């Protein structure tokens, strides 16, 4: 033990034993200034990142006093609109519970009737790009609490039940009828269910075969103009839609996802952002051509593109795409060529070893420049003028591919396996 003067003094065994905590949990329950730190907006992101892995032992999480004190912090996370904060409510990996599970009804830390659970669901549904996946998880694990809170008039849970019906999350007919009965038992639920039925009738009319295959909206058209147009008839045959240079926003995504045959979508120079892109990535999985040039999309939305396996052409020119996100999207998918200086060269013409990747055998062994601009790839038949501008092509080849030699994991599934053309000019990835 330490004396008041900084030195050490001897203590008897009895005194040492008396100084030890009598309750076993006192040794296990960590204590820290969590509450005051969570009150500061600038401290909350780092605190959320620190706590997301749940760095506490199971005994601490089973301690009522500890979880009750920490509940205030979790509530602050659930009220923060920044995704970097409230996303920390979810687990860091599959199979491991996060704060969302611990403070949900039935969780070891839940001490209320689901109020905190409803707050967490509300904020996560507003930003989570895996909306259908999140709804499916709720239907499988928390359907009972959702229906109970909806029965008590909680508007967030009423919206959740309506979305489960709209997205066909529930397969069991009896469960569907029980959800409908729950919705019709309250005023807010009955009103929202009626709105859902109206939307479903409109959807059937919209998706009925017929109408044009190509459609271009006039410049300066708005979300309301698009909604009014799509509600005027059948668009079941629409394959090509251009909204370029209009004033549409992410709000129009709710209408776009209802077009069953859409294959080409042009959003050039619109205000279409991350929220809309996340919604498109979940529902328009058959989309082949997507133009996001000069839109305000960021990495948060662009990462969702990995679920759009049918994409053949993608324009991200003049967006906030970062190099890291681009690398994540393309690897280990189609190879990247940014300019003639990045093309694979015969081994006899390659530069010296300084700053290059590992030597590889073969007459056309790929090489990697010191810049992070490109990982050389397949040898095309012809050089395209657009390559030097940052437009990337993957033409059909008659020569063997060398991409497998420089891909990190040749057995990994490509995130965008059909992608043939990408434009990343005027981005960080260029």
pLDDT, tens digit, 9 for 90 and up, residues 35-67: 788 888 999 999 999 999 998 888 888 888 889
Average pLDDT over residues 385-389: 33
- DSSP string across 145-201: HHHHHHHTT-HHHHHHHHHHHHTT----HHHHHHHHHHHTTSHHHHHHHHHHHHHHH
Summarize pLDDT for 315-332 with one digit per residue, the tens.
Answer: 999 999 999 888 888 755
- Burial class (CB within 10 angstroms; exposed 0-12, middle 13-18, buried 19+) of 150: buried
Model pLDDT, residue 351: 40
Q: Rounded to a whole number, what is the distance in angstroms from the first to the last CA of the chain?
A: 61
> Is 14 within the bounds of a domain?
no
Looking at the structure, tell me whether residues 176 and 287 fall in a common domain. Answer: no
Looking at the structure, tell me whether residues 190 and 280 fall in a common domain. Answer: no
Model pLDDT, residue 18: 46
Looking at the structure, tell me whether residues 126 and 268 fall in a common domain. Answer: no
- Number of structural domains (the chain) is 2
Examine the fold and report which residue of 172, 204, 236 is the final residue of a domain before the chain moves on.
Answer: 204
Residue bearing tokens 């008839």: 233
> Is 370 within the bounds of a domain?
no
> Is 220 within the bounds of a domain?
yes
> Is 372 within the bounds of a domain?
no
pLDDT top residue among 272 and 207: 272
Inter-residue contact 271 to 295 (CB < 8 Å): yes
Average pLDDT over residues 72-95: 90
> Is 5 within the bounds of a domain?
no
Looking at the structure, tell me whether residues 114 and 64 fall in a common domain. Answer: yes
CATH number, domain of 315, equals 3.80.10.10
Summarize pLDDT for 250-270 with one digit per residue, the tens.
Answer: 999 999 998 989 999 999 999
Looking at the structure, tell me whether residues 48 and 126 fall in a common domain. Answer: yes
Dmax of the chain from CA atoms?
Answer: 92
Quickly state the pLDDT bin for 96 (edges 50, 70, 90): confident
Looking at the structure, tell me whether residues 265 and 153 fall in a common domain. Answer: no
Looking at the structure, tell me whether residues 161 and 46 fall in a common domain. Answer: yes
Inter-residue contact 249 to 276 (CB < 8 Å): yes
Examine the fold and report which residue of 184, 204, 224 is the final residue of a domain before the chain moves on.
Answer: 204
Looking at the structure, tell me whether residues 115 and 241 fall in a common domain. Answer: no
Model pLDDT, residue 408: 34
pLDDT top residue among 157 and 260: 157
**28 lies in which domain range?**
22-204
Model pLDDT, residue 32: 56
Q: Is the pLDDT of residue 111 over 50?
A: yes
> Is 7 within the bounds of a domain?
no
Look over the chain and give the mean of its residue pLDDT values, rounded to a whole number: 76
Q: Is the pLDDT of residue 26 over 50?
A: no
Examine the fold and report which residue of 204, 224, 243 is the final residue of a domain before the chain moves on.
Answer: 204
Q: Is the pLDDT of residue 129 over 70?
A: no
Model pLDDT, residue 395: 35
Average pLDDT over residues 198-218: 86
Q: Is the pLDDT of residue 78 over 50?
A: yes
Inter-residue contact 318 to 342 (CB < 8 Å): no
Model pLDDT, residue 416: 85
Quickly state the pLDDT bin for 210 (edges 50, 70, 90): confident
pLDDT top residue among 301 and 411: 301
> Is 1 within the bounds of a domain?
no
Model pLDDT, residue 374: 36
Looking at the structure, tell me whether residues 234 and 329 fall in a common domain. Answer: yes
CA distances from 221 to 41, 213, 271, 414 (A): 38, 20, 12, 37
Looking at the structure, tell me whether residues 49 and 193 fall in a common domain. Answer: yes
Alpha-carbon Rg for the chain in angstroms: 28
Q: Is the pLDDT of residue 405 over 50?
A: no
pLDDT top residue among 355 and 163: 163
Model pLDDT, residue 300: 86
> Is 353 within the bounds of a domain?
no
Model pLDDT, residue 331: 58
Q: Is the pLDDT of residue 197 over 90?
A: yes
Model pLDDT, residue 393: 38
Quickly state the pLDDT bin for 130 (edges 50, 70, 90): low
Looking at the structure, tell me whether residues 195 and 50 fall in a common domain. Answer: yes
Inter-residue contact 317 to 427 (CB < 8 Å): yes
Looking at the structure, tell me whether residues 28 and 81 fall in a common domain. Answer: yes
CA distance 162 to 196: 7
Average pLDDT over residues 229-244: 89
**Token representation of residue 277:** 């892109």
């Amino acid at each position: 033990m330490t004396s008041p003067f900084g030195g050490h003094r001897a203590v008897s065994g009895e005194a040492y034993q008396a100084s030890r905590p009598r309750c076993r949990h006192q040794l296990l329950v960590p204590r820290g200034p969590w509450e005051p730190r969570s009150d500061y907006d600038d401290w909350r992101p780092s605190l959320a990142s620190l706590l997301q892995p749940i760095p506490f032992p199971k005994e601490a999480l089973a301690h009522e006093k500890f979880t009750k004190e920490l509940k205030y912090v979790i509530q602050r996370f659930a009220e923060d609109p920044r995704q970097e904060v409230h996303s920390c409510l979810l687990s860091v990996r599959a199979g491991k519970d996060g704060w969302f599970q611990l403070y949900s009804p039935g969780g070891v830390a839940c001490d209320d009737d689901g109020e905190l659970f409803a707050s967490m669901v509300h904020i996560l549904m507003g930003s989570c790009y895996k909306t259908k996946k999140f709804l499916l998880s709720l239907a499988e694990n928390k359907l009972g609490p959702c229906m109970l809170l909806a029965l008590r008039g909680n508007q967030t849970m009423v919206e959740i039940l309506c979305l489960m019906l709209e997205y066909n999350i529930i397969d069991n007919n009896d469960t569907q009828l029980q959800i409908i009965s729950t919705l019709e038992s309250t005023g807010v639920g009955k009103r929202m269910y009626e709105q859902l039925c109206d939307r479903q009738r409109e959807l059937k009319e919209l998706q009925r075969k017929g109408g044009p295959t190509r459609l271009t909206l006039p410049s300066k058209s708005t979300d309301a103009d698009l909604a009014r147009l799509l509600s005027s008839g059948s668009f079941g045959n629409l394959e090509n839609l251009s909204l370029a240079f209009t004033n549409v926003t992410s709000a129009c995504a709710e209408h776009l996802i209802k077009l069953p045959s859409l294959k080409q979508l042009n959003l050039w120079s619109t205000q279409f952002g991350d929220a809309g892109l996340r919604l498109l990535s979940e529902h328009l999985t058959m989309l082949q051509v997507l133009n996001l040039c000069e839109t305000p999309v960021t990495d948060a939305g662009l990462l969702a593109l990995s679920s759009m396996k049918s994409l053949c052409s993608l324009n991200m020119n003049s967006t906030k795409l970062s190099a890291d996100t681009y690398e994540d999207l393309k690897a280990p998918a189609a190879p990247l060529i940014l300019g003639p200086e990045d093309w694979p060269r015969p081994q006899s013409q390659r530069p010296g070893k300084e700053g290059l990747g590992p030597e590889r055998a073969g007459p056309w062994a790929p090489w990697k420049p010191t810049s992070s601009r490109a990982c050389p790839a397949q040898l095309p038949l012809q050089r395209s003028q657009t390559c030097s501008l940052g437009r990337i092509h993957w033409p059909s080849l008659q020569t063997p591919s060398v991409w497998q030699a420089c891909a990190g994991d040749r057995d990994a599934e490509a995130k965008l396996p059909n992608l043939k053309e990408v434009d990343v000019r005027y981005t960080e990835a260029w």
